[in-house]
Structure 1
């Protein structure tokens, strides 16, 4: 924990970054569970509620080892632990430093009692989110979009996966060698994607849905009326469009929800939302036009598998 820092937070808990034994960096999500204490204005999740998110995260992570449908585009789960006790002093110090420098919207973890249970998820560090990342130009945004689409298609095919919350805080990017190429496998066929210097990792499966070993694992969003009432960003409209598409029945598979979120990602790329360093080059204009064309066409597809098969294979 000597080189640890708090890097984020959510209603579910706190997120820390630390240097692991291999010399790289890992992300640690600390999520209180099973307690009666109201935390950050919400009741704590029960074990069975958090278990679904853990299973989804692990199955998506394991797609990097699958032969028929293969992708490394989802955050890699390194370890999952259930722990008990007072919040460690070191992590409390890091929480207070974050609160002083950036301002926290969460309650201080010092409120937790000595018998508090936590789930600790350790993940590979996926980088900066789409909202804060600065692209060189639209060519890199095109590479980001293509990777996101291919990863979704693989998970859609293998697990009947819907992310259901793929806003720009849940697509992470790291800078890589500009000549690096990624290989996806979709229904036994290879798809190669040039990174052009950026590699994505999709995170946060709190609202997601998969089918695994004949079991449907999902979050019943029909119980959360507030999710569909928010106004402002296009993100909130996507929730309502998903609800309209599936008739507010969240157990069954509706691949069109992934198409809706890809349209959201494209919308961020072609408006002034994403940040670009070089906007006056021919390459930037060329790939911005490509992204705009995808944005115009993508809503006519029924699934991301269909979209990727027709456009990238």
Structure 2
């Protein structure tokens, strides 16, 4: 379940089995480079699916229509094609998927491979994979969302090279999944290729309050852009679903002058480029409009009651806040048949408040000292104070969001922050 706090790589939920059958099965005609960005199929391409499969279209056909190749590939041949110029190691796992990292031998390029079995009892529903692929392709065009590099459907036994890496991971770190040697020749897998965005926030060491504030505003800006362009709600932005890549940034060259005002401009913090690149990942529970059609909405009904029963972490409260937000209020939320298709951007604010809670209490950054030998810089004090102010302004546990105007979306928050000259 996506709310599992111990899972580094978020999982895709499973419900019922699917009766989709496979019509076409092909081999890899040329090395399938995971590095190439998938632009061959639009977010929806009904005409292509219709041309390929005629009137009897199954969910698997729809998924294939979204993929880089519109045919089912042999799993072992597909992996062999990647290994011609790359190495692959296991990166992580979720309850219903395995995650590997492809590293090209001729460059520093890396790609994440999320491998999801489907088509059998207790495996992921095809429509859940379709939703994840469509939203991933759509949001990848926006800064702050993880890049999408393609998708494939493969069939067959779990390849030996991946089994070897699975065993290495199990010996070094331990696996909570069953060793994937039980899959049979007819087993289907979706392989989703994504940009390697770095380590998740839970496993990232932030060095200062300035970095913590930078992480927050990058996430807020991404959500605000997603709202504006695609009516996007993440709905599961825990600290495992936000990844950070620390990068080298060359200092910008400045021409200094003896003029005091010009000198101050040269030292302005506003001109400092971030060394962190923050990306949102995993849209298993997300909602988004995937085309210009206002009715073309992908979303996941959050009907698993276990999602709202968790205790002991603020994350579980956020799920309950979301449910209350989209419910009618006429009956208790747990008794209502909720329409999760409704656009409720305040859910993004709930998760941004969760993020402030994580940054302020869980990242291990010392509270800035006011005085003494270890007194913090004014920048550190200001960043810490700003994060505290924002946290109070968007706290969903209060009847009103602070004393200022109502902040009911990430877009509202960014607009308020600009008016207050925080960003």
8 Å contact from structure 1 (residues 136, 278) kept in 2: no
User: Which of 216, 226, 236 is equivalent to 2:297?
Assistant: 216
Q: What displacement does 1:22 show?
A: 4.8
8 Å contact from structure 2 (residues 135, 288) kept in 1: yes
Q: 1:136-173: per-residue Cα shift (whole Å, max 9, x none)?
A: 10101111111000000000111111100000000000
1:290 maps to 386
1:58 maps to 137
- CA distance in 2: counterparts of 1:262 and 1:165, whole angstroms: 11
1:40 maps to none
TM-score, normalization: structure 1?
A: 0.86
- CA distance in 2: counterparts of 1:177 and 1:100, whole angstroms: 33
TM alignment of 1:134-173, pairs within 5 A:
134-173=205-244
Q: What displacement does 1:77 show?
A: 0.5
TM-score, normalization: structure 2?
A: 0.65
Whether 1:246 aligns to 2:326 is: yes
Q: What displacement does 1:62 show?
A: 2.3
Q: What displacement does 1:195 show?
A: 4.9
Whether 1:124 aligns to 2:195 is: yes
Whether 1:309 aligns to 2:394 is: no
- CA distance in 2: counterparts of 1:62 and 1:197, whole angstroms: 21
- CA distance in 1: counterparts of 2:215 and 2:340, whole angstroms: 28
1:226 maps to 306
1:44 maps to 123
Moved more, 123-132 or 297-306: 297-306
Whether 1:265 aligns to 2:374 is: no
- CA distance in 2: counterparts of 1:240 and 1:195, whole angstroms: 37
| Change over 3 Å in CA distance of 1:112–1:134 after alignment to 2 | same
Q: 1:182-229: per-residue Cα shift (whole Å, max 9, x none)?
A: xxxxxxxxxx996531110110000000123231211000x2000001
User: Which of 96, 101, 111 is equivalent to 2:182?
Assistant: 111
- CA distance in 1: counterparts of 2:161 and 2:308, whole angstroms: 38
User: Which of 343, 352, 363 is equivalent to 1:274?
Assistant: 363
SS at match of 2:229: helix
SS at match of 2:163: helix
Over 6 Å off, 4+ runs: none
1:184 maps to none
8 Å contact from structure 2 (residues 128, 284) kept in 1: no
2:281 maps to 203
Q: 1:284-307: per-residue Cα shift (whole Å, max 9, x none)?
A: 333111111110112421111111
Q: How many residues align?
A: 287
Question: RMSD across aligned C-alpha pairs, in angstroms?
Answer: 2.0
Structure 1 unaligned residues grouped into runs of 5+: 37-42, 64-71, 182-191
SS at match of 2:152: strand
- CA distance in 1: counterparts of 2:313 and 2:366, whole angstroms: 24
| Change over 3 Å in CA distance of 1:54–1:195 after alignment to 2 | farther
1:19 maps to 103
User: Which of 113, 120, 129 is equivalent to 1:35?
Assistant: 120
8 Å contact from structure 1 (residues 15, 29) kept in 2: yes
SS at match of 1:54: helix
Q: 1:83-105: per-residue Cα shift (whole Å, max 9, x none)?
A: 11111101111111111111111
8 Å contact from structure 1 (residues 180, 196) kept in 2: no
Q: Which has the larger radius of gyration?
A: 2
1:86 maps to 157
Structure 2 unaligned residues grouped into runs of 5+: 1-82, 253-269, 328-337, 369-373, 396-400, 402-406
Whichever structure has more strand as a proportion of its residues is 1
TM alignment of 1:155-194, pairs within 5 A:
155-178=226-249
- CA distance in 1: counterparts of 2:298 and 2:251, whole angstroms: 35
